[in-house]
Protein backbone atom coordinates (compact mmCIF):
# COMPACT_ATOMS: atom_id res chain seq x y z
CA UNK A 1 0.00 0.00 0.00
CA UNK A 2 1.31 3.45 -0.92
CA UNK A 3 2.31 5.50 2.11
CA UNK A 4 0.12 8.49 1.24
CA UNK A 5 -2.83 6.23 0.42
CA UNK A 6 -6.19 7.86 1.18
CA UNK A 7 -8.74 5.33 2.44
CA UNK A 8 -12.00 5.46 0.48
CA UNK A 9 -15.34 5.58 2.30
CA UNK A 10 -17.12 6.61 -0.89
CA UNK A 11 -19.67 4.34 -2.61
CA UNK A 12 -17.20 3.18 -5.22
CA UNK A 13 -14.47 2.79 -6.02
CA UNK A 14 -13.54 1.28 -2.68
CA UNK A 15 -10.51 -0.31 -1.06
CA UNK A 16 -9.10 -3.36 -2.83
CA UNK A 17 -7.20 -6.08 -0.98
CA UNK A 18 -3.46 -6.20 -1.84
CA UNK A 19 -3.74 -9.91 -2.74
CA UNK A 20 -6.38 -9.05 -5.33
CA UNK A 21 -4.29 -6.25 -6.81
CA UNK A 22 -1.40 -8.67 -6.96
CA UNK A 23 -3.48 -11.37 -8.66
CA UNK A 24 -4.35 -8.82 -11.35
CA UNK A 25 -0.71 -8.33 -12.33
CA UNK A 26 -0.11 -11.89 -13.52
CA UNK A 27 1.15 -12.37 -17.08
CA UNK A 28 -1.53 -12.35 -19.79
CA UNK A 29 -2.99 -15.47 -21.37
CA UNK A 30 -4.74 -15.78 -24.74
CA UNK A 31 -8.46 -15.19 -24.45
CA UNK A 32 -9.23 -18.11 -26.77
CA UNK A 33 -7.17 -20.56 -24.73
CA UNK A 34 -8.40 -23.37 -22.50
CA UNK A 35 -6.61 -21.61 -19.68
CA UNK A 36 -8.85 -18.57 -20.10
CA UNK A 37 -12.00 -20.73 -20.27
CA UNK A 38 -10.92 -22.40 -17.04
CA UNK A 39 -10.51 -18.99 -15.40
CA UNK A 40 -13.92 -17.68 -16.45
CA UNK A 41 -15.61 -20.98 -15.56
CA UNK A 42 -14.01 -20.92 -12.13
CA UNK A 43 -15.19 -17.36 -11.48
CA UNK A 44 -18.65 -18.29 -12.80
CA UNK A 45 -19.08 -21.15 -10.36
CA UNK A 46 -18.12 -18.97 -7.40
CA UNK A 47 -20.27 -16.07 -8.55
CA UNK A 48 -23.28 -18.40 -8.70
CA UNK A 49 -22.85 -19.19 -5.02
CA UNK A 50 -22.69 -15.54 -4.09
CA UNK A 51 -25.82 -14.77 -6.12
CA UNK A 52 -27.78 -17.90 -5.11
CA UNK A 53 -28.35 -18.80 -8.72
CA UNK A 54 -27.65 -21.56 -11.22
CA UNK A 55 -28.19 -19.26 -14.20
CA UNK A 56 -25.77 -18.08 -16.88
CA UNK A 57 -23.21 -15.58 -15.60
CA UNK A 58 -21.94 -12.79 -17.83
CA UNK A 59 -18.65 -11.02 -17.13
CA UNK A 60 -18.56 -7.88 -19.23
CA UNK A 61 -15.71 -5.50 -19.96
CA UNK A 62 -17.40 -2.29 -18.87
CA UNK A 63 -18.59 -0.61 -15.73
CA UNK A 64 -22.07 -1.48 -14.51
CA UNK A 65 -23.79 1.04 -16.75
CA UNK A 66 -22.87 -1.12 -19.76
CA UNK A 67 -24.97 -3.95 -18.38
CA UNK A 68 -27.81 -1.57 -17.45
CA UNK A 69 -27.96 -0.91 -21.19
CA UNK A 70 -27.66 -4.60 -22.10
CA UNK A 71 -30.49 -5.52 -19.76
CA UNK A 72 -33.09 -3.04 -20.86
CA UNK A 73 -32.19 -3.09 -24.52
CA UNK A 74 -32.15 -6.86 -24.88
CA UNK A 75 -35.28 -7.71 -22.93
CA UNK A 76 -37.80 -5.00 -23.87
CA UNK A 77 -40.06 -5.99 -26.72
CA UNK A 78 -43.23 -4.16 -25.75
CA UNK A 79 -42.47 -1.58 -23.08
CA UNK A 80 -40.43 -1.31 -19.88
CA UNK A 81 -41.55 0.20 -16.61
CA UNK A 82 -38.62 1.67 -14.71
CA UNK A 83 -39.12 2.19 -10.99
CA UNK A 84 -36.80 4.93 -9.84
CA UNK A 85 -35.91 5.79 -6.27
CA UNK A 86 -33.08 8.14 -7.19
CA UNK A 87 -30.25 8.99 -9.57
CA UNK A 88 -29.50 5.50 -10.82
CA UNK A 89 -33.13 4.61 -11.47
CA UNK A 90 -33.35 7.79 -13.51
CA UNK A 91 -30.21 6.81 -15.38
CA UNK A 92 -31.80 3.49 -16.37
CA UNK A 93 -34.81 5.29 -17.78
CA UNK A 94 -32.54 7.64 -19.73
CA UNK A 95 -30.62 4.70 -21.13
CA UNK A 96 -33.90 3.30 -22.45
CA UNK A 97 -34.82 6.63 -24.03
CA UNK A 98 -31.38 7.10 -25.65
CA UNK A 99 -31.70 3.65 -27.17
CA UNK A 100 -35.17 4.34 -28.50
CA UNK A 101 -36.70 1.73 -26.23
CA UNK A 102 -40.34 2.26 -25.19
CA UNK A 103 -40.30 2.91 -21.45
CA UNK A 104 -42.23 4.64 -18.69
CA UNK A 105 -40.85 5.78 -15.38
CA UNK A 106 -42.38 5.82 -11.93
CA UNK A 107 -40.23 7.96 -9.68
CA UNK A 108 -40.88 8.29 -5.95
CA UNK A 109 -39.71 11.11 -3.77
CA UNK A 110 -36.01 10.67 -3.03
CA UNK A 111 -35.53 8.83 0.25
CA UNK A 112 -38.63 6.69 -0.30
CA UNK A 113 -38.82 3.10 -1.53
CA UNK A 114 -40.97 1.18 -4.01
CA UNK A 115 -44.05 -0.60 -2.65
CA UNK A 116 -45.85 -3.73 -3.94
CA UNK A 117 -48.93 -1.60 -4.65
CA UNK A 118 -47.04 0.68 -7.03
CA UNK A 119 -45.76 -2.30 -8.99
CA UNK A 120 -49.13 -3.99 -9.14
CA UNK A 121 -50.71 -0.82 -10.45
CA UNK A 122 -48.41 -0.78 -13.48
CA UNK A 123 -48.04 -4.48 -14.22
CA UNK A 124 -51.76 -5.17 -13.98
CA UNK A 125 -52.33 -2.96 -17.03
CA UNK A 126 -50.62 -5.58 -19.21
CA UNK A 127 -48.77 -2.79 -20.99
CA UNK A 128 -45.31 -3.82 -19.84
CA UNK A 129 -43.07 -6.79 -20.52
CA UNK A 130 -40.08 -5.59 -18.45
CA UNK A 131 -39.75 -4.25 -14.93
CA UNK A 132 -36.54 -2.44 -14.01
CA UNK A 133 -35.76 -2.02 -10.35
CA UNK A 134 -32.82 -0.61 -8.42
CA UNK A 135 -32.02 -2.86 -5.49
CA UNK A 136 -29.90 -0.35 -3.62
CA UNK A 137 -30.05 3.34 -4.55
CA UNK A 138 -26.61 4.80 -3.92
CA UNK A 139 -27.74 8.40 -4.17
CA UNK A 140 -30.29 8.15 -1.34
CA UNK A 141 -29.22 5.17 0.77
CA UNK A 142 -32.50 3.33 0.14
CA UNK A 143 -32.61 -0.44 -0.21
CA UNK A 144 -35.83 -1.57 -1.85
CA UNK A 145 -37.71 -4.39 -0.06
CA UNK A 146 -37.25 -6.87 -2.91
CA UNK A 147 -38.59 -9.89 -1.07
CA UNK A 148 -41.95 -8.18 -0.68
CA UNK A 149 -41.82 -6.80 -4.21
CA UNK A 150 -40.98 -10.22 -5.67
CA UNK A 151 -44.37 -11.58 -4.62
CA UNK A 152 -46.17 -9.07 -6.81
CA UNK A 153 -43.74 -9.25 -9.70
CA UNK A 154 -44.04 -13.03 -9.83
CA UNK A 155 -47.79 -12.73 -10.35
CA UNK A 156 -46.85 -11.66 -13.88
CA UNK A 157 -44.85 -14.51 -15.45
CA UNK A 158 -44.56 -12.80 -18.84
CA UNK A 159 -42.72 -9.82 -17.37
CA UNK A 160 -38.91 -9.94 -17.34
CA UNK A 161 -37.42 -8.60 -14.10
CA UNK A 162 -34.13 -6.76 -14.48
CA UNK A 163 -32.39 -5.49 -11.36
CA UNK A 164 -29.53 -3.08 -10.64
CA UNK A 165 -27.64 -4.50 -7.69
CA UNK A 166 -24.50 -2.50 -8.46
CA UNK A 167 -23.93 -1.09 -4.99
CA UNK A 168 -25.27 -3.99 -2.92
CA UNK A 169 -24.32 -7.34 -4.38
CA UNK A 170 -22.05 -9.19 -1.93
CA UNK A 171 -22.91 -6.65 0.78
CA UNK A 172 -26.50 -7.82 1.22
CA UNK A 173 -28.24 -11.11 0.56
CA UNK A 174 -29.87 -11.29 -2.86
CA UNK A 175 -31.27 -14.74 -3.57
CA UNK A 176 -31.58 -14.29 -7.30
CA UNK A 177 -33.37 -17.52 -8.23
CA UNK A 178 -35.66 -17.58 -5.21
CA UNK A 179 -36.70 -14.00 -5.88
CA UNK A 180 -37.09 -14.72 -9.57
CA UNK A 181 -34.83 -11.97 -10.88
CA UNK A 182 -34.15 -12.56 -14.59
CA UNK A 183 -31.20 -10.22 -15.03
CA UNK A 184 -29.32 -9.19 -11.90
CA UNK A 185 -26.30 -6.99 -12.52
CA UNK A 186 -23.47 -5.50 -10.55
CA UNK A 187 -20.17 -3.64 -10.91
CA UNK A 188 -16.75 -4.66 -9.65
CA UNK A 189 -15.88 -1.48 -7.77
CA UNK A 190 -18.56 -1.40 -5.09
CA UNK A 191 -19.33 -4.08 -2.50
CA UNK A 192 -17.29 -6.60 -4.47
CA UNK A 193 -14.22 -4.49 -3.69
CA UNK A 194 -12.43 -4.76 -7.02
CA UNK A 195 -11.01 -2.07 -9.27
CA UNK A 196 -13.60 -0.58 -11.67
CA UNK A 197 -13.94 -1.93 -15.20
CA UNK A 198 -15.77 -5.23 -14.85
CA UNK A 199 -19.51 -5.77 -14.63
CA UNK A 200 -21.29 -9.01 -13.88
CA UNK A 201 -24.82 -10.31 -14.36
CA UNK A 202 -26.87 -13.45 -13.91
CA UNK A 203 -29.22 -14.10 -16.83
CA UNK A 204 -32.24 -16.41 -16.75
CA UNK A 205 -33.52 -18.47 -19.67
CA UNK A 206 -36.60 -16.27 -19.69
CA UNK A 207 -34.41 -13.21 -20.30
CA UNK A 208 -32.53 -15.05 -23.05
CA UNK A 209 -35.75 -16.23 -24.69
CA UNK A 210 -37.00 -12.67 -24.68
CA UNK A 211 -33.78 -11.47 -26.27
CA UNK A 212 -34.37 -13.95 -29.12
CA UNK A 213 -37.53 -11.99 -29.93
CA UNK A 214 -35.88 -8.57 -29.76
CA UNK A 215 -34.48 -7.30 -33.01
CA UNK A 216 -32.19 -4.41 -32.14
CA UNK A 217 -30.04 -5.77 -29.36
CA UNK A 218 -26.97 -3.72 -30.19
CA UNK A 219 -23.59 -5.21 -31.03
CA UNK A 220 -21.15 -4.92 -28.15
CA UNK A 221 -23.76 -5.85 -25.56
CA UNK A 222 -25.83 -8.26 -27.63
CA UNK A 223 -26.95 -10.76 -25.02
CA UNK A 224 -27.21 -13.58 -27.56
CA UNK A 225 -23.65 -13.02 -28.69
CA UNK A 226 -22.53 -13.05 -25.07
CA UNK A 227 -24.49 -16.29 -24.59
CA UNK A 228 -22.93 -17.87 -27.66
CA UNK A 229 -19.40 -17.31 -26.40
CA UNK A 230 -20.25 -18.54 -22.92
CA UNK A 231 -22.01 -21.70 -24.12
CA UNK A 232 -20.40 -22.64 -27.43
CA UNK A 233 -16.86 -21.49 -26.58
CA UNK A 234 -16.97 -22.78 -23.03
CA UNK A 235 -16.87 -19.59 -20.97
CA UNK A 236 -15.29 -17.03 -23.24
CA UNK A 237 -16.15 -13.47 -24.27
CA UNK A 238 -16.99 -12.17 -27.78
CA UNK A 239 -14.25 -9.53 -27.68
CA UNK A 240 -11.02 -9.34 -25.70
CA UNK A 241 -12.00 -9.52 -22.04
CA UNK A 242 -10.34 -7.66 -19.22
CA UNK A 243 -8.14 -10.56 -18.22
CA UNK A 244 -6.60 -8.76 -15.21
CA UNK A 245 -10.09 -8.33 -13.74
CA UNK A 246 -10.83 -11.99 -14.37
CA UNK A 247 -7.74 -12.97 -12.37
CA UNK A 248 -8.83 -10.47 -9.74
CA UNK A 249 -12.46 -11.53 -9.41
CA UNK A 250 -11.51 -15.20 -9.23
CA UNK A 251 -9.19 -14.37 -6.33
CA UNK A 252 -11.66 -12.01 -4.66
CA UNK A 253 -14.45 -14.59 -4.82
CA UNK A 254 -12.14 -17.06 -3.06
CA UNK A 255 -11.65 -14.47 -0.33
CA UNK A 256 -15.40 -13.79 -0.11
CA UNK A 257 -16.24 -17.49 0.16
CA UNK A 258 -13.49 -17.90 2.73
CA UNK A 259 -14.99 -15.15 4.88
CA UNK A 260 -18.34 -16.89 4.44
CA UNK A 261 -21.13 -15.25 2.48
CA UNK A 262 -23.42 -14.97 5.49
CA UNK A 263 -20.60 -13.56 7.61
CA UNK A 264 -19.97 -10.99 4.95
CA UNK A 265 -23.60 -9.88 4.94
CA UNK A 266 -23.56 -9.75 8.72
CA UNK A 267 -20.43 -7.58 8.73
CA UNK A 268 -22.12 -5.14 6.36
CA UNK A 269 -25.31 -5.06 8.43
CA UNK A 270 -23.35 -4.39 11.61
CA UNK A 271 -21.38 -1.54 10.06
CA UNK A 272 -24.59 -0.07 8.66
CA UNK A 273 -26.25 -0.17 12.05
CA UNK A 274 -23.31 1.53 13.69
CA UNK A 275 -23.22 4.33 11.12
CA UNK A 276 -26.99 4.83 11.35
CA UNK A 277 -26.88 5.12 15.13
CA UNK A 278 -24.08 7.62 14.82
CA UNK A 279 -25.95 9.59 12.16
CA UNK A 280 -29.10 9.71 14.28
CA UNK A 281 -27.14 10.89 17.28
CA UNK A 282 -25.37 13.74 15.49
CA UNK A 283 -27.44 14.42 12.36
CA UNK A 284 -30.36 12.54 10.83
CA UNK A 285 -30.94 9.88 8.21
CA UNK A 286 -32.02 10.93 4.74
CA UNK A 287 -33.90 7.75 3.81
CA UNK A 288 -37.09 6.22 5.16
CA UNK A 289 -35.94 4.21 8.18
CA UNK A 290 -37.80 1.11 7.03
CA UNK A 291 -35.68 0.82 3.90
CA UNK A 292 -32.11 1.61 4.83
CA UNK A 293 -29.17 0.37 2.82
CA UNK A 294 -26.64 -2.00 4.36
CA UNK A 295 -23.82 -0.73 2.15
CA UNK A 296 -24.13 3.06 2.13
CA UNK A 297 -25.69 5.56 4.53
CA UNK A 298 -26.95 8.90 3.31
CA UNK A 299 -26.77 11.36 6.22
CA UNK A 300 -29.02 14.41 6.28
CA UNK A 301 -26.81 17.41 6.93
CA UNK A 302 -29.05 18.87 9.65
CA UNK A 303 -26.20 20.90 11.13
CA UNK A 304 -25.36 22.51 7.82
CA UNK A 305 -21.71 21.52 8.09
CA UNK A 306 -19.35 22.36 5.25
CA UNK A 307 -18.90 18.90 3.72
CA UNK A 308 -16.07 19.79 1.31
CA UNK A 309 -14.18 21.32 4.23
CA UNK A 310 -14.75 18.23 6.35
CA UNK A 311 -13.45 16.09 3.53
CA UNK A 312 -10.38 18.30 3.16
CA UNK A 313 -9.56 17.73 6.81
CA UNK A 314 -10.31 14.02 6.55
CA UNK A 315 -8.02 13.79 3.56
CA UNK A 316 -5.13 15.06 5.70
CA UNK A 317 -5.88 12.08 7.90
CA UNK A 318 -5.82 9.79 4.88
CA UNK A 319 -9.53 9.11 4.54
CA UNK A 320 -12.40 10.49 2.50
CA UNK A 321 -16.22 10.29 2.45
CA UNK A 322 -18.70 11.27 -0.30
CA UNK A 323 -20.81 14.39 -0.59
CA UNK A 324 -24.46 14.17 -1.59
CA UNK A 325 -25.41 13.07 -5.10
CA UNK A 326 -26.62 15.63 -7.63
CA UNK A 327 -29.22 17.93 -6.09
CA UNK A 328 -28.42 16.54 -2.65
CA UNK A 329 -24.80 17.65 -2.89
CA UNK A 330 -24.84 19.98 0.10
CA UNK A 331 -27.88 18.69 1.95
CA UNK A 332 -26.49 15.23 2.57
CA UNK A 333 -23.24 13.36 2.76
CA UNK A 334 -22.68 9.66 2.28
CA UNK A 335 -20.61 7.13 4.10
CA UNK A 336 -20.00 3.83 2.35
CA UNK A 337 -19.58 0.75 4.50
CA UNK A 338 -18.92 -1.90 1.93
CA UNK A 339 -16.35 -4.31 0.57
CA UNK A 340 -13.18 -4.66 2.62
CA UNK A 341 -14.19 -2.04 5.17
CA UNK A 342 -14.34 -3.28 8.76
CA UNK A 343 -16.08 -2.07 11.91
CA UNK A 344 -12.71 -0.87 13.13
CA UNK A 345 -12.28 1.29 10.01
CA UNK A 346 -15.76 2.73 10.51
CA UNK A 347 -15.18 3.53 14.17
CA UNK A 348 -11.91 5.18 13.29
CA UNK A 349 -13.55 7.25 10.56
CA UNK A 350 -16.39 8.44 12.77
CA UNK A 351 -14.01 9.30 15.61
CA UNK A 352 -12.03 11.43 13.22
CA UNK A 353 -15.15 13.18 11.95
CA UNK A 354 -16.19 13.93 15.54
CA UNK A 355 -12.73 15.23 16.29
CA UNK A 356 -12.71 17.52 13.25
CA UNK A 357 -16.23 18.84 13.94
CA UNK A 358 -15.51 19.24 17.69
CA UNK A 359 -18.44 17.11 18.81
C1 LIG B 1 -22.41 3.09 -9.22
C2 LIG B 1 -23.77 2.70 -9.63
C3 LIG B 1 -24.11 2.52 -10.98
C4 LIG B 1 -23.17 2.84 -12.08
O5 LIG B 1 -22.19 1.88 -12.12
P6 LIG B 1 -20.86 2.11 -12.99
O7 LIG B 1 -20.11 0.88 -12.62
O8 LIG B 1 -20.25 3.37 -12.50
O9 LIG B 1 -21.26 2.17 -14.40
C10 LIG B 1 -25.37 2.08 -11.27
N11 LIG B 1 -26.27 1.85 -10.31
C12 LIG B 1 -25.98 2.00 -9.01
C13 LIG B 1 -27.03 1.71 -8.00
C14 LIG B 1 -24.72 2.44 -8.63
O15 LIG B 1 -24.43 2.60 -7.34
Which residue in 225, 218, 223 sits closest to 208, CA to CA?
223
Residue 36: what pLDDT? 98
pLDDT at 1 (0 to 100) = 64
334 is in an annotated binding site: yes
| Per-residue pLDDT tens over the stretch 126-149 | 999 999 999 999 999 999 999 999
pLDDT at 21: 98
Distance 255 CA to ligand 1 centre (A): 23
DSSP string, 242-307: -HHHHHHHHHHHHHHHHH-HHHHHHHHHHHHHHHHHHHHHHSEESS-GGGB-SSEEEEE-TT---H
For the chain, state the CA radius of gyration: 20
Of all protein residues, the one whose alpha carbon is nearest to atom 6 of ligand 1 is 64
Provide the pLDDT for residue 239.
98
Q: With a cut of 70, which residues of the chain have pLDDT below it?
A: 1
Calculate ∠ Cα 302-303-305, nearest 5°.
Answer: 115
Q: Does ligand 1 come within 6 angstroms of the Cβ of 64?
A: yes
pLDDT of residue 327: 86
Domains in the chain, CATH or no CATH each:
7-13+260-357 (3.90.1150.10), 18-257 (3.40.640.10)
Could you tell me if the CB of 167 is within 6 A of ligand 1?
yes
Pairing of strands 160-164, 130-134: parallel
User: Could you tell me if the CB of 168 is within 6 A of ligand 1?
Assistant: no
What is the total residue count of the chain? 359
**Given the CA of residue 196, which atom of ligand 1 is nearest to it?**
7
Q: 8, 13, 65: which to mutate for ligand 1, most atoms within 8 A of CB? A: 65
Q: pLDDT tens for residues 45-103?
A: 999 999 999 999 999 999 999 999 999 999 999 999 999 999 999 999 999 999 999 99
Distance CA 255, CA 245 (A): 15
The C-alpha atoms of residue 113 and residue 85 are separated, in whole angstroms, by 6
What contacts 315, CB < 8 A, 6 or more positions away? 6
95-124 pLDDT per residue, tens? 999 999 999 999 999 999 999 999 999 999
Q: How far is the CA of 232 from the centre of ligand 1 (A)?
A: 30
- Residue 4 has what pLDDT? 86
Amino acid sequence: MKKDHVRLFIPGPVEVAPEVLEAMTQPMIGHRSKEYSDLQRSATEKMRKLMYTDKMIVFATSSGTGLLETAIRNTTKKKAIVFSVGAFGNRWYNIAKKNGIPADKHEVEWGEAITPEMIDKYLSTGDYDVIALTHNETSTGVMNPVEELAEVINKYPDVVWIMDAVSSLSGAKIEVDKLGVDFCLTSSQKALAMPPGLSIASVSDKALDRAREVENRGFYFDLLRLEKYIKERDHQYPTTPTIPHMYGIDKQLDRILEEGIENRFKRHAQMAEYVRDWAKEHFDLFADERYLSDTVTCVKNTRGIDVPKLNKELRKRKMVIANGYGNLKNDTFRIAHMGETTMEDIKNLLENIEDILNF
